[in-house]
Amino acid sequence: MQIIDRRLNQKNKSTVNRQRFIRRYRSQIKKSIADRISQRGVTDIDKSEGISIPSKDISEPTFRHGNGGKKQHIYPGNKEFTAGDKIQRPPPQAGGKGRRASDKGEGNDEFSFQISSEEYMNILFEDLELPNLKKNKLKKLVNYKTIRSGFNTDGVPSNIDIVRSLKGSMARRIAIQLPLKKKLKKVQAELALIDEKIEPLPYSKLTEEISALKKRIKRIPYIDTFDLRYKNFTKLPQPTTNAVMFCLMDVSGSMDQQTKEMAKRFYILLYLFLKRSYKDVEVVFIRHHTQAKEVDENEFFYSQETGGTIVSSALKLMQEIIQDRYNPTDWNIYAAQASDGDNWNDDSDYCHKLLNESILSQVRYYTYVEITDREPQNLWHQYQSLVNSHDNFAMQKIETQNDIYPVFRDFFRKQSIATQWSPRSA
Amino acid sequence: MGAKAKNIKKQLISDGPEWSHDLIGKYYKIIAEIADDFGLDTYPNQLEIISAEQMLDAYASVGMPIGYNHWSFGKHFISNEQSYRRGRMGLAYEIVINSSPCIAYLMEENNMMMQALVIAHACFGHNSFFKGNYLFKTWTDAEAIIDYLIFAKNYINECEQLYGIDEVESILDSCHALMNHGVDRYKRPYPISMREEKQRQKDREEYLQSQVNELWNTIPNKSNPDKDESEPRFPSEPQENILYFVEKNAPVMPPWQREIVRIVRKIGQYFYPQRQTQVMNEGWATFWHYTILNELYDRGYTSDGFMIEFLQSHTNVVTQPDFDSPYFNGINPYALGFNMMTDIRRICENPTAEDKHWFPEIADTPWQETLTFAMKNFKDESFIAQYLSPKLIRDFKFFSIKDDEKEKELEVTAIHNDSGYQKIRRKLSEQYNLSMTEPNIEIYKVDLKGDRSLTLHHKKTNNINLADTTNEVVKHLHKLWGFPVKLMSIDEQGEKTEIAICPDHQSDKK
């Protein structure tokens, strides 16, 4: 008999198989993820995601008996039956009778499981990349991180590295003492050979020499400034990893709740996506009708306003907020605007001007989604002229819920595989 | 050696729930002594201590210590993990592998009492069953299985590199669908070691391909639907081992795919005895852990607390909920097996008049011999037919239900009384008969001269249809065979109906 302790062996023997499973059902998992996006809050992402896929898709078929026919079965625990009794057929799947579920997880219609938030993101944003992912130029250094960088002979006392210093002291002492000690040994040996009474003169000379040597040895300092070593730190400039995302939405009377829900999905995707690249992502919600206002998430999505639409009001507010709080040299700024395309006629020109002249030069990427099934209106046309002159501006039209994810992917598709992806049909 | 049984002086091996390697060693030594006194014949043992996560891993690969990679194992893993995390499922205390040395997994979360129980249950109960039972002797080779699994894993790995994961995966899918039909019930397979297996695999590749070509060497004629029956049929006898038939005869299958079919078939064969001896195997192991731990106590090695804790978990294991209980999930093999084993011992030692009437050949015989004989020479079906006593039928309050589609109501056909014993025993035995619980499907004919299509026959019993997964399985078989596959159903009157065909002519899809 032998006992083998396997606890320290690798744990994740099944990881490969798990990955195989996820790989095989990627498309179903993707679908499940896409279906669930609307149920998440914009910033509520640190959860792992529950996935369910139809269990008929993952069943493993075998030849087996189906229902029907004539069957006999033995059951334990008879209470009141006697031979010949007739019993009402119980409804299928009820109580002890009824067939057993064929396999774990397959008895239900859905096979549900969790994937980690990392896996979730990977699947959601497969093949996507952030456009213009330049770190902000370090003209004004925003952050320093102090890092260790070896040792120095100079510094403040609090940075003394005791072990290193004592090592140095010991080495120095050994090195300086060694010749003196050798000499001392030699002299002591000589002294042992002569008798004080016979040769008093050489004797006293030797003793003097010995005491002088001993004094010298003693004078060697235990620790010297020369021994001291200081921990050295240097400051490393850190590129900023802060990002801010501006959500701009039209809440005028023409935007109904459903349209807002669609916009919300789009914002969620953008937020999740930014979160993957930046450590901290702040979100600024700006809603507007004829006037713009900065609001919290709840108000942004769910409060109802009426009135006309002046898009430039939101753009102006955004510009002000950037000036106040989010210096473009410190922050990576992203903006997403959703609207149904309505705008005050004269205003669209002004929007174009605002974007063209100031906003677009300050933001990493500006996306505009128009949620409507009508013909594009003047805002769309004005914006369209921006697409060619600015490569950090993108616009798309969304008609139904199902367009959102494809459109999002379209915005952020990796350049190299730009042709592969085609929108999932509904 | 055995301790002096006369004056039971307490000489506790341990006290308290903590286990250590040292204590496991001590318990093992004494349990081994007791098992030896009872005459249990076992393979050498190897205990492996694992964590809960590793137990989940072991679950997922259906108890194979080394398994090739496949998504379905991942699926099982995910679903087990889910239910474990949500607290819906406890983990088994042990897994034991039919190999030599016999590998038993002990979970680190178990306390000392559980470890001792697992040692008695797995290392001596299951182990001696693996070594003694005729099915295991015939179908599995404990010495070779680990080697074979390593060979299989490496081979499939290699194939994945050569032909791509997707390609290999789809072949495995198809094989898994037919895994239960990869056993030759009447021929004894011969075991070989890994080195031989590797050498043979190369030879086989070439040889098989040439054989197959021989079979198909005539260019197919234009198909003539009305064949003359005088022409010899191929295969001349219906074949129940579908995977074997495919491996040997599929017309255009590349050699590596044949090898994969073979691997799945071999592994299916390895599990074949386990599927047929669940009640006996668990019953035997449970009987022995019960007997051994009681003996441990009688010899003064364990404390009262230890025993109370043991009896509590033992009772949990052998509980049989009634059919109308919310916990009912079929007949608990541990309960049935343990009670039958205990009952046989009772009949040997203290037979009643009824027992003498029913079991004249075992009443008043030495129980150890009788029990060992039963363990060695039966499978669940025959074991129940042979040994289920009226007393047990009464204890379990078994009754038999007839469920006929054609009738509105269910009928109780027999209960635990004089007129019912025989019937219940027969029916219960049938319930464990694989050839009754699995549909009877055979390869009937290959159209050698025509379109190379393969025809299978399903022999209906009791008018039970095949489940709706059948079409999928036929598709898988078509993928392996490469030419049309047809499944005919033959009812008890001999009437044939076509129930599945692939490729389907109406909806022409791949």
Cβ distance B322 to A65 less than 8 Å, yes or no, reads no
A80 at interface of B, judged by CB pairs closer than 8 A: no
Tell me, what's the pLDDT at B279? 93
| DSSP per residue, B247-261 | HHH-TT--HHHHHHH
Which residues in chain B touch residue A2, judged by CB atoms under 8 angstroms apart?
45-47, 101
Tell me, what's the pLDDT at B510? 37
Give the best-scoring range by mean pLDDT among A138-142, B68-72, B202-206. B68-72
Tell me, what's the pLDDT at A357? 85
Distance CA B451, CA B481 (A): 12
pLDDT in tens, B400-409: 998 888 888 8
Which residues in chain B touch residue A61, judged by CB atoms under 8 angstroms apart?
177, 469-470, 472-473, 476
Chain A nearest CA to B505, separation (Å): 22
CA distances from A32 to A123, A335, B209, B347 (A): 11, 27, 45, 59
Say if residue B503 is preceded by a cis peptide, omega within 30 of 0.
Answer: yes
Cβ distance B24 to A100 less than 8 Å, yes or no, reads no
Cβ distance A16 to B69 less than 8 Å, yes or no, reads yes
Cβ atoms of residues B458 and B489 within 8 Å: yes
Rounded mean pLDDT, A187-191: 88
> What is the band of B380 on the pLDDT scale with cuts at 50, 70, 90?
very high
> What is the band of A101 on the pLDDT scale with cuts at 50, 70, 90?
very low
pLDDT in tens, B321-336: 998 888 888 899 999 9
> What is the band of A140 on the pLDDT scale with cuts at 50, 70, 90?
very low
Cβ distance A17 to B414 less than 8 Å, yes or no, reads no
CA distances from B203 to A256, B141, B190, B200, B259 (A): 73, 23, 17, 5, 11
> What is the band of B93 on the pLDDT scale with cuts at 50, 70, 90?
low
* Nearest CB to B405 within list A68, A83, A105: A68
pLDDT in tens, B254-293: 999 999 999 999 888 888 888 889 999 999 999 999 999 9
Rounded mean pLDDT, B131-145: 86
Tell me, what's the pLDDT at B87? 65
Tell me, what's the pLDDT at B41? 93
Q: In the numeric block, which tokens belong to residue B154?
A: 């490496």
Tell me, what's the pLDDT at A97? 38
Give the best-scoring range by mean pLDDT among A21-35, A304-318, B182-196, B280-294. B280-294
Helix or strand run (H / E) with residue A218:
helix A200-219
Axis-axis angle for helices B333-349, B380-387 (nearest 10): 40
Which residues in chain B touch residue A59, judged by CB atoms under 8 angstroms apart?
469
Interface size, chain A vs chain B, as Cβ–Cβ contacts under 8 Å: 271
Tell me, what's the pLDDT at A239? 61
Rounded mean pLDDT, A335-360: 84
> What is the band of B34 on the pLDDT scale with cuts at 50, 70, 90?
very high
Distance CA A356, CA A383 (A): 9
Tell me, what's the pLDDT at B357? 92
Would you say residue A95 has pLDDT above 60?
no
Would you say residue A330 has pLDDT above 90?
no
Of B279, B204, B280, B290, give the one whose Cα is nearest residue B247: B204
> What is the band of A424 on the pLDDT scale with cuts at 50, 70, 90?
very low
* Nearest CB to A83 within list B324, B412, B439: B412
Least confident of B154-163, B251-260, B331-340, B461-470: B461-470
Least confident of A62-76, A140-154, B157-171, B489-503: A140-154
CA A119 to chain CA centroid, Å, is 11
Torsion over CA: A168, A173, A179, A181 (sign): negative
Helix %, strand %, coil % of chain B (to 5): 50, 10, 35
Would you say residue B227 has pLDDT above 60?
no
* Nearest CB to B77 within list A17, A68, A81: A17
Cβ atoms of residues A254 and A340 within 8 Å: yes
The secondary structure of residue A289, as a DSSP letter, is S
Distance CA B456, CA B288 (A): 45
A139 at interface of B, judged by CB pairs closer than 8 A: no
Would you say residue B191 has pLDDT above 70?
no
Q: In the numeric block, which tokens belong to residue B484?
A: 């049309």
Which residues in chain B touch residue A21, judged by CB atoms under 8 angstroms apart?
71-72, 74-75, 77-78
Least confident of A302-311, A316-325, A333-342, B156-165: A302-311
B320 at interface of A, judged by CB pairs closer than 8 A: yes
Instruction: Give the SS3 label for residue A52.
Output: strand
Q: What is the pTM of this model?
A: 0.69
Would you say residue B439 has pLDDT above 50?
yes
Query: For residue B407, is it left (φ>0), alpha (ψ between -120 and 50) or beta?
Result: beta
Cβ distance A17 to B69 less than 8 Å, yes or no, reads yes
Give this complex's ipTM.
0.81
Nearest residue in chain A measured CA to CA from B418: A83
Nearest residue in chain A measured CA to CA from B462: A70
Rounded mean pLDDT, A377-385: 83
CA distances from B180 to A90, A213, B268, B435 (A): 31, 95, 7, 11
Cβ atoms of residues B124 and B40 within 8 Å: yes
Q: For residues A292-321, b (16+ Cβ closer than 10 Å) or e, as one string?
A: bbbbebeebbeeebeeebbbbbbbbbbbeb
Would you say residue A331 has pLDDT above 50?
yes
Chain B nearest CA to A418, separation (Å): 24
> Position B104: which residue type?
A
Tell me, what's the pLDDT at B383? 95
B463 at interface of A, judged by CB pairs closer than 8 A: yes
Q: Are strands B94-97 and B399-404 parallel, antiparallel or unpaired?
A: unpaired
Distance CA A368, CA A361 (A): 16
Q: Are strands A2-5 and B45-50 parallel, antiparallel or unpaired?
A: parallel
- Helices then strands (H, E): number in chain B? 21, 9
Tell me, what's the pLDDT at B31? 94
B82 at interface of A, judged by CB pairs closer than 8 A: yes
Which residues in chain A touch residue B242, judged by CB atoms under 8 angstroms apart?
none
Would you say residue A290 has pLDDT above 70?
yes
Would you say residue A302 has pLDDT above 80?
no
Which residues in chain A touch residue B323, judged by CB atoms under 8 angstroms apart?
75-78, 96-97
Distance CA A260, CA A51 (A): 25
pLDDT in tens, A260-275: 777 877 887 777 777 7
Chain B nearest CA to A176, separation (Å): 55
Chain B nearest CA to A119, separation (Å): 14
First CA to last CA distance, chain B: 69
State the Cα angle at B422 between B420 and B426, rounded to 5°: 115
Tell me, what's the pLDDT at A301? 76
Which residues in chain A touch residue B46, judged by CB atoms under 8 angstroms apart?
1-4
Of A336, A206, A317, give the one whose Cα is nearest residue A270: A336
Would you say residue B219 has pLDDT above 70?
no
Chain A nearest CA to B504, separation (Å): 18
Cβ atoms of residues B290 and B314 within 8 Å: yes
Q: Report the percentage of chain B scoring pLDDT > 70.
A: 87
Cβ distance A84 to B411 less than 8 Å, yes or no, reads yes
CA distances from A105 to A33, A66, A100, A196 (A): 19, 19, 12, 104
Which residues in chain A touch residue B326, judged by CB atoms under 8 angstroms apart?
95
Interface test with chain A among B79, B422, B435, B499, by most A beta carbons within 10 Å: B79
Cβ atoms of residues B405 and B465 within 8 Å: no
Q: Are strands A292-295 and A70-75 parallel, antiparallel or unpaired?
A: unpaired
Rounded mean pLDDT, A3-14: 76
Would you say residue A250 has pLDDT above 70?
yes
Cβ atoms of residues B459 and B442 within 8 Å: yes
Tell me, what's the pLDDT at A361? 85
Of B157, B180, B351, B360, give the one whose Cα is nearest residue B264: B180
Tell me, what's the pLDDT at A167? 92
As a three-state string, the secondary structure of A160-194 is ECHHHHHHHHHHHHHHHHHHHHHHHHHHHHHHHHC
Tell me, what's the pLDDT at B111? 87
